[in-house]
Structure 1
């Protein structure tokens, strides 16, 4: 069933920014207090922090993995690797840190919908009217970009789906192996090559998921040669 709150993490930021902004406009008409409007603004800031932060820390982990592999196995350039610095997460968290943001927001939305002055137009402006259902026959489209250090960057439009499963097949693999799940692009495959220092062909495919499991069909298989 379609949901008015996006299931894709990358879309939650825009949704909460809009909700907090429009709540300041429509909230007083629908019985929302000034404290609740302020809380919604803090919720929006917190959503931005935790989602941006997860992506930044994921990138930090991938960069540190590359650094680890350079330290352990060396690189073609022979240059001494530099330790990566962790990224800065913005905006800053409010104090105190809100929790249970989504269920609390749903409760507020339901309360507003029960108000006699609520209209569908107001709900659409707030973003609390459900969109059309997602297609069940969806097939992801993968794009690949080869970077240095045996990194392959995968791009994939999410099309409103909450998650995508990424599989890869490398030399020596009998079949495709799941290497990760992601909720937003890009995904960086920064694994060390099967044979240290040697280019290798990697084949990729992907499939959308939601809470109930896989959706639609596997993408077409695409290939790239990972390089030093």
Structure 2
């Protein structure tokens, strides 16, 4: 019976994993002789982990906006319109009781499930606890490809993860120097740096590199140039 470790390494996929497990587990509680407390704890783990990831993203976006505004105030360019970022609004917190070490609880629970005499591969697939086989990533050849959309005048960057943990993005806002913009665990990032003064334009440049286990891997992307205009 397949018993390969199935818990993903990155937070975004950990959240997806918990959501599937918590959704499907009640249907098999009797078959696998799981207590109502165990089922409830898995549901709480999923709800709170998803809530904190969403809250973290909101907080990070606000932090990046504050950092960008500080840089504009400190270094210019001159005559740039200044607008304070909108205060962040966190999602509603779950009503269940949180607990620490959720994967220290979920991991042994999965091991016990797989050893139960009523466990089948079909159950494992429905619960999402069978690791999908995938080819090894050649980290030496990895190179992200950035694409861009514009929303409200601000660039919105997208990319494919290609089996990596995160993406580090640097930006040149017209200063001639690339600086760290963000490190993202999932695709999609809007650069909320204040736009140029009304009626003027500027070219912002972006480049990115993948991360695995908190280390840069592969090659930097091609530089993506985006023309932004003041509104």
Cα offsets for 1:140-165 (capped at 9, x unmatched): 2211234567x432111224422111
| TM-score of the pair, normalised by structure 2 | 0.77
The residue number in structure 1 matching 2:105 is 104
Q: Cα distance, 1:172 vs. partner?
A: 4.7
Equivalent-residue separation in structure 2 for 1:54 and 1:106 (angstroms): 24
The residue number in structure 2 matching 1:155 is 158
The residue number in structure 1 matching 2:60 is 58
Equivalent-residue separation in structure 2 for 1:11 and 1:169 (angstroms): 31
Secondary structure of residue in 2 paired with 1:60: helix
The residue number in structure 1 matching 2:143 is 139
Give the length in aligned residue pairs: 220
Cα offsets for 1:160-218 (capped at 9, x unmatched): 422111123454546x444321112322334468xx74643232222221216334433
2:90 alignment partner, one of 73, 84, 88:
88
Equivalent-residue separation in structure 1 for 2:201 and 2:13 (angstroms): 36
Distance 1:227 1:4, change over 3 A: farther
Distance 1:130 1:75, change over 3 A: farther
1:13 alignment partner, one of 15, 23, 32:
15
In the alignment, is the contact (CA less than 8 A) between 1:46 and 1:94 conserved in 2?
no
| TM-score of the pair, normalised by structure 1 | 0.78
In the alignment, is the contact (CA less than 8 A) between 1:6 and 1:12 conserved in 2?
yes
Distance 1:183 1:75, change over 3 A: farther
Structure 2, gaps ≥5 residues long: none
Q: CA RMSD in A?
A: 3.3
In the alignment, is the contact (CA less than 8 A) between 2:143 and 2:219 conserved in 1?
yes
